[in-house]
Amino acid sequence: MMPRIAALAALMLFAGQAAASPVAAETVGVRAKGGQPEYLFLEKVPRAEAEATARKLANAVIAGRMIIFAYSKKLTDPTLGDKGFGGEFFEKQWRSALEGEMLDATPNQKRIFEKLFWAGRQVIDNNQDRLNVKGIAWKHFLPAKWEREMGQVFTARTGIIIKQPGRNYRSPVNVPDDMERSMLQHFIAAKQDENKPQTAFTVMGKQPVFRHMEPIRLMQPCLSCHGKPKGEPDMLGFEKDGLEAGDVIGLMSVTIAVSE
Ligand code: HEC
């Protein structure tokens, strides 16, 4: 016990000295400026294909979220062990939901989509132990968690960034960057039926990119966590967002490198 108290006393002394120091404290734990974490953009699309590719990817991810959402009752049933919701099962449904999307896909887009399917399946397989726990309803597996993990796996393999910046993000991975923050503000200020994707050619670090952002809106079943009353804890302990069905909760954000 003694050494811990001594350490605490030393810490308090140190804190006292720091506060008294005339030199302005360095702000630590903030994002480094310029550049961005995924600096090797492995997949690049021609400028003319960028918009369609980003839109197709956004549609695909939304379709994947909807499949998980459709199974949420089964996935949160505490009486079930094995839910039969494996990667292969998921991928099959995901592919069939996207048949229309694939009809006019270019060879380049088809190759990127194979990597997307692979990433989505990996994440479902990786969550089997969690999903198949018996006796617990909410196992922290949600469309948003699948998308976060899938996006990270997909980005690591391709350099194409898929993320879902949040209005009040729960996972720190979903922190919006400057453009995402202003797009969130745009959609929040706009009418409830304003869903037209906002897009831009810009630069990320040294890389020319195309960015696509569209709103993710809440539905009735989302409100048990993202709804009212604001500030009251949801079933996972997060404070509810105080929003209504139709309100913007986050963005579907796709950033894809363009080859010049
Ligand atoms: C059981 C509570 C719960 C429900 C119901 C729920 N969410 Fe969430 N939501 C969360 C949690 C927890 C996270 C963080 C997930 C993660 O990344 O691990 C999250 C994250 C998100 C994010 C990413 C931004 C952020 O906050 O990190 C979006 C977008 C989102 N949810 C939308 C929805 C939508 C749309 C629905 C309904 C289809 C929904 N959520 C239903 C708890 C919930």
**Averaged pLDDT of the chain:** 91
Ligand 1 centroid distance, CA of 171 (Å): 9
Query: Residue 211 has what pLDDT?
Result: 97
Residue 2 — very low, low, confident or very high, per pLDDT cuts 50/70/90? very low
Q: What is the DSSP string of 139-158?
A: -S--HHHHHHHHHHHHHHHH
The pTM is what?
Answer: 0.89
Ligand 1 centroid distance, CA of 100 (Å): 27
pLDDT above 60: residue 5: no
Q: Work out the average pLDDT over 101-108.
A: 94
Structural domain spans, the chain: 38-259
3-class secondary-structure state, position 115: helix
At 28-52, the pLDDT tens digits run 988 887 766 666 788 999 999 999 9
At 145-201, the pLDDT tens digits run 999 999 999 999 999 999 999 999 999 999 999 999 999 999 999 988 899 999 999
What residues line ligand 1, using a CB cutoff of 6 Å?
69, 138, 142, 144-145, 148, 164, 166, 169-171, 174, 216, 218-219, 221-222, 224-226, 234-236, 238, 249-250
Query: Residue 37 has what pLDDT?
Result: 62
Ligand 1 centroid distance, CA of 169 (Å): 9
Ligand 1 centroid distance, CA of 98 (Å): 23
At 117-153, the pLDDT tens digits run 999 999 999 999 999 999 999 999 999 999 999 999 9
pLDDT above 90: residue 220: yes
pLDDT above 50: residue 1: no
**Nearest CA, atom 43, ligand 1:** 225
Return the best residue to mutate from 138, 164, 225, 253 for the ligand 1 pocket (most ligand atoms within 8 A of CB): 225
**Nearest CA, atom 38, ligand 1:** 222
Query: Residue 236 has what pLDDT?
Result: 87
Amino acid 50 reads A
Q: Which of 51, 124, 32 lies closest to 84 in space, CA to CA?
A: 124
Contacts of 62 (CB under 8 A, 6+ apart): 216, 252
Minimum-distance ligand 1 atom for the alpha carbon of 72: 5
Asked if 130 and 222 count as a contact pair (C-beta separation under 8 A), the reply is no
| 232 CB neighbour count, 10 Å cutoff | 10
Minimum-distance ligand 1 atom for the alpha carbon of 165: 24
**Nearest CA, atom 16, ligand 1:** 145
Query: Residue 64 has what pLDDT?
Result: 98
